[in-house]
Amino acid sequence: MRLFVAVLIDDKLNREIDSYKSKFELKGIRKTPDNHITLAFIGDVKDVEKVKNALKSVKFKSFQLRTESLRIVPNMISPRRLEIDIVKDKCYDELLSMQKIIAGALQKSVNYKEKRKFIPHITIARIKDLNDAQRSELFDTFNRTAFTQRNFKISNFYLVSSILTEKGPVYSVVETYSLS
């Protein structure tokens, strides 16, 4: 089973993010099926129970995060993703700490190794093979789209399965872990 650990975005903010996604109806842009912050991409796992048990050991208090701005990653010349950044404040640091605890628990149980530095964000779309006209339309839409900062509470984290299909990934919650 292909797994990752994430925090999911609450319903109200989800609706707002989905309305932003609807502005980017361009060929070559594949919108994400949901809105979340990936804390650890585990990959294919045979012993799901081992992962579940490792994550049960994670103890952390709930906290608030704040969305910041919409950005094109890695840059405007070679766009690959549309992301919403998270404000870098004390609560951002809480998320970094929680992610390290989760990564540590997974490393002990399933030999998890992070492949890149954790930078919290919400990916809203993946971008592939835009021609010059499509790229220009993307930039025009991006420049007209202001994203308003919003607070959202993190009171759970989730073990999520990801099934790859021709239309994109399909995500399902495998287990929910409550924060105190």
What are the tens digits of pLDDT across the range 38-81?
A: 999 999 999 999 999 999 999 999 999 999 999 999 998 899 99
Contact 51, 45 (CB under 8 A): yes
**% residues pLDDT > 70 (the chain):** 100
H runs (alpha helix) in the chain = 11-21, 48-56, 90-110, 132-144
Compute CA distances 96 → 59, 70, 78, 91, 133, whole Å: 14, 20, 28, 9, 39
pTM for the model: 0.93
User: Among 32, 30, 34, 45, which residue's Cα sits nearest to residue 7?
Assistant: 34
- Measured CA to CA in angstroms, residue 114 lies from 23, 43, 45, 63, 99 at distances of 33, 11, 15, 24, 11
Number of domains in the chain: 1
Tell me the C-alpha to C-alpha distance, in Å, between residue 136 and each of 139, 141, 143.
5, 9, 11
Report the alpha-carbon distance of residue 47 to residue 40 in Å, rounded. Answer: 17
Split at pLDDT 50, 70, 90, the class of 122 is very high
28 to each of 49, 89, 100, 140, how far by Cα in Å? 38, 34, 34, 15
Name the residue range of residue 80's domain.
2-178
Alpha-helical segments (H) within 57-131: 90-110
Q: What is the pLDDT of residue 26?
A: 86
Q: Tell me how crowded residue 150 is: count the other CB atoms within 10 A of its CB.
A: 16
Cis peptide before 74 (omega within 30 of 0): yes
Task: Indicate the average pLDDT of the chain.
Answer: 93
Q: What is the CATH number of the domain that holds 92?
A: 3.90.1140.10
